[in-house]
Chain A
């Protein structure tokens, strides 16, 4: 039963925490009431499970011997310094930020973990203040079906495998990021023996564990920020001359510079020079604005836009170009 199990594990934790020496199994069986009345085999099984569960919760249960001459006489202990949250002081500006944190996650599991982390801070005397930044309601979602398994593997450093674009990939998770509502995983791809970034939404089904937690190390010189920069749009290295209809396309205007001397420009339009990186994406972006934006130069971009517009205008239109 849950209550009895919780009680037994709590008493085991207190017993191991209170002792400076390693506590031997026979002694634990004697002093922790939850182990009374069990057969030898049942005690062994229950104790091993409880000990593993404490470790799974993050409680640092150490194994060792008190006597160097008899290293096989093992016992267990929890070192207080490794167990307790170190003292952290927070300023009012910081507790205001913490006060918003509890309501950010849309995923119930991660919301629970955040509340649990905040409860530990409260238990250490920190008072997260949700009122000061009440104008803000940030949120993070995680609706990708593969997210929970990949996140847990990332947190515990457990290698996983999953289907991705029709291939099975074996990956050691290194880091994750949420960008504009989509989750990405950075990890070592064992098959390719190289780092790779995966979009979690593109993972087929869910990930399967292929190794134990903590069974790999992150590289010493890991530059996570650099990997994430590859997901950002490339810096603009080309410029286009565009005719922008008056009062329209203000966002392009903000990112460009006016070219009042360029001629000819259709009446009701002004010429602007605007930077861009990928010609294909930029042509699509300009098409979305219809007749509000006309490309003057370069000619390749102008032709790309016209070709795309013709595809939308459809074959029924004679276009009368030859008339």
Chain B
């Protein structure tokens, strides 16, 4: 969509918004509309020339340019005929519904009713409401999320049963700060009291959550859990797997550095931060892995397979 189209959509919302919010602040209004203050001033300069057909002075929308330039306040009038915003476009409605469905995947039972009723009201105002998009996040048990959210609000400590990506079990004791989603999985971001560092825990691997005793340390801001968080881990090493076609699905499930399709096999470069994760991946793929480079990266998995086979022979 070109910038003029975006601008017209915005202007049609700005006029009713500014009539409903007299003396609105320029910076705050710009933030709410997702544009810079400069862009908002340009928008107002367009509206200055808009109005009822005929274009006589009394027909135009009025904006107090002195208040705008002097104190950054927006006073717009003489536009009673644009008192309500336009209906949602299908793209807007569907994008907003996806966002709310993602919210619903993360909240606990006590907040779900509000999200559901908001969704129902928006669907009633949505064109094409018969096939709106669905969202599924692997976010574990809703009671786990509710217990964590309550502890975050109360600024408390918790401990819980946890199975990590290498399938190791532990009982971390943490100060929880946020529930987040990356690439379709929900995570708890928390300060680990044992490790004295920030940690993330996958929500679908958290068992029972219990309140824990102790004093919550004074915490700064947790590190940014941006889209590229996994790639940025400094201790990660590159491992190349040569995979038979039946194991090629991993390229759709795990972040990869490079994928090189071949005739009968595909080569995949993975960033591995956790040796236990690679061990369980290689064990899971079994005969689907044709080669591992460097070869020593497969040593853990080979050892684990030999241990298991020994246990089978003993049994």
Tell whether A176 is near chain B: CB-to-CB under 8 Å: yes
Q: Is the beta-carbon distance between A97 and B184 smaller than 8 angstroms?
A: no
20 contacts between A and B (CB under 8 A): A57-B8, A94-B117, A101-B100, A115-B34, A119-B10, A119-B17, A120-B86, A133-B103, A136-B107, A138-B99, A140-B181, A180-B138, A186-B131, A254-B207, A266-B314, A288-B281, A294-B311, A302-B312, A309-B308, A312-B286
Contact A7-B53, Cβ < 8 Å, known A94-B117, A120-B86, A310-B309: no
Instruction: Given contacts A33-B49, A119-B34, A120-B85, list 6 more A-B pairs with CB under 8 A.
Output: A2-B3, A7-B46, A84-B84, A179-B134, A302-B312, A312-B282
Distance A249 CA – B169 CA, assembled complex (angstroms): 7
**Stretch touching chain B among A40-48, A62-70, A149-157:** A149-157
Instruction: Fill in one digit per residue for A207-236: 1 if any B CB lies within 8 Å of its CB, else 0.
Output: 000000000001000101100100000000
Instruction: Fill in one digit per residue for B200-223: 1 if any A CB lies within 8 Å of its CB, else 0.
Output: 000001010000000000000000
Q: Is the beta-carbon distance between B118 and A94 smaller than 8 angstroms?
A: yes
Distance A14 CA – B102 CA, assembled complex (angstroms): 37
Contact A57-B252, Cβ < 8 Å, known A137-B179, A178-B136: no
Distance A215 CA – B90 CA, assembled complex (angstroms): 15
Q: Is the beta-carbon distance between A11 and B53 smaller than 8 angstroms?
A: yes
Residue of B nearest to A321 (CB): B313
Distance (whole angstroms) from the CB of B110 to the closest CB of chain A: 9
Residue of A nearest to B83 (CB): A84
Tell whether A206 is near chain B: CB-to-CB under 8 Å: no
Tell whether A168 is near chain B: CB-to-CB under 8 Å: no
Distance A107 CA – B47 CA, assembled complex (angstroms): 30
Contacts of B114 in A (CB 8 A): 91-94, 96-97
**Total A-B residue contacts, Cβ distance less than 8 Å:** 371
Q: Is the beta-carbon distance between B149 and A58 smaller than 8 angstroms?
A: no
Q: Is the beta-carbon distance between A125 and B20 smaller than 8 angstroms?
A: yes
Contact A294-B308, Cβ < 8 Å, known A18-B52, A88-B125, A182-B184: yes
- Among B84, B167, B182, B305, the residue within 8 A (CB) of A139 is B182
Instruction: Give the interface centre of A136, A141, A176 by most chain B CB atoms within 10 Å.
Output: A136
Instruction: Fill in one digit per residue for B82-99: 1 if any A CB lies within 8 Å of its CB, else 0.
Output: 101111111111111011
A 51-91 contacts with B by CB, 8 A: 53-54, 56-59, 82-86, 88, 90-91
Instruction: Fill in one digit per residue for B54-88: 1 if any A CB lies within 8 Å of its CB, else 0.
Output: 11000000000000000000000000011011111
* SS of B interface (majority): helix
Contacts of B284 in A (CB 8 A): 284-285, 287-288
Q: Is the beta-carbon distance between A119 and B32 smaller than 8 angstroms?
A: yes
Tell whether B237 is near chain A: CB-to-CB under 8 Å: no
Q: Is the beta-carbon distance between B106 and A138 smaller than 8 angstroms?
A: yes
Tell whether B163 is near chain A: CB-to-CB under 8 Å: yes
Tell whether A6 is near chain B: CB-to-CB under 8 Å: yes
Q: Is the beta-carbon distance between A93 and B45 smaller than 8 angstroms?
A: no
Residue of A nearest to B183 (CB): A181
Q: For this complex, into which size category does the number of interface residues on chain B fall?
A: 35 or more
Contacts of B13 in A (CB 8 A): 116, 119-120, 122-123
Instruction: Fill in one digit per residue for A163-206: 1 if any B CB lies within 8 Å of its CB, else 0.
Output: 00000000000111111111000100000000000010110000
Distance (whole angstroms) from the CB of A315 to the closest CB of chain B: 11
Q: 9 tightest A-B contacts by CB?
A: A181-B184, A93-B114, A308-B286, A31-B53, A290-B304, A58-B89, A180-B184, A311-B287, A104-B99
User: How many residues from A make CB contacts under 8 Å with B?
Assistant: 123
Tell whether A238 is near chain B: CB-to-CB under 8 Å: no
Distance A94 CA – B92 CA, assembled complex (angstroms): 18
Q: Is the beta-carbon distance between B180 and A250 smaller than 8 angstroms?
A: no
Contact A56-B5, Cβ < 8 Å, known A10-B47, A182-B184: yes
Residue of A nearest to B247 (CB): A284
Q: Is the beta-carbon distance between A177 and B134 smaller than 8 angstroms?
A: yes
Q: Is the beta-carbon distance between A6 and B305 smaller than 8 angstroms?
A: no
Tell whether B280 is near chain A: CB-to-CB under 8 Å: yes
Distance A243 CA – B42 CA, assembled complex (angstroms): 70
Q: Is the beta-carbon distance between A3 and B42 smaller than 8 angstroms?
A: yes
Distance A273 CA – B113 CA, assembled complex (angstroms): 36
- Among B52, B98, B152, the residue within 8 A (CB) of A178 is B98
- Among B85, B102, B178, B309, the residue within 8 A (CB) of A319 is B309
Residue of A nearest to B279 (CB): A290
Distance A175 CA – B98 CA, assembled complex (angstroms): 12
Tell whether A25 is near chain B: CB-to-CB under 8 Å: no
Q: Is the beta-carbon distance between A136 and B179 smaller than 8 angstroms?
A: yes
Q: Is the beta-carbon distance between B92 and A250 smaller than 8 angstroms?
A: no
Contacts of A222 in B (CB 8 A): 130-131
Tell whether B26 is near chain A: CB-to-CB under 8 Å: no
Residue of B nearest to A232 (CB): B136
B 293-315 contacts with A by CB, 8 A: 301-302, 304-315
Q: Is the beta-carbon distance between A294 and B185 smaller than 8 angstroms?
A: no
Q: Is the beta-carbon distance between B121 and A288 smaller than 8 angstroms?
A: no
Q: Is the beta-carbon distance between A317 and B4 smaller than 8 angstroms?
A: no
Q: Is the beta-carbon distance between B302 and A314 smaller than 8 angstroms?
A: yes
Tell whether A15 is near chain B: CB-to-CB under 8 Å: yes
Q: Is the beta-carbon distance between B99 and A135 smaller than 8 angstroms?
A: no
Contacts of A287 in B (CB 8 A): 283-284, 286, 305, 308
Distance A82 CA – B104 CA, assembled complex (angstroms): 30
Tell whether A117 is near chain B: CB-to-CB under 8 Å: yes
Q: Is the beta-carbon distance between B12 and A13 smaller than 8 angstroms?
A: yes
Contacts of A140 in B (CB 8 A): 98-99, 102, 135, 181
Tell whether A124 is near chain B: CB-to-CB under 8 Å: yes
A 228-264 contacts with B by CB, 8 A: 228, 243, 247-251, 254, 264
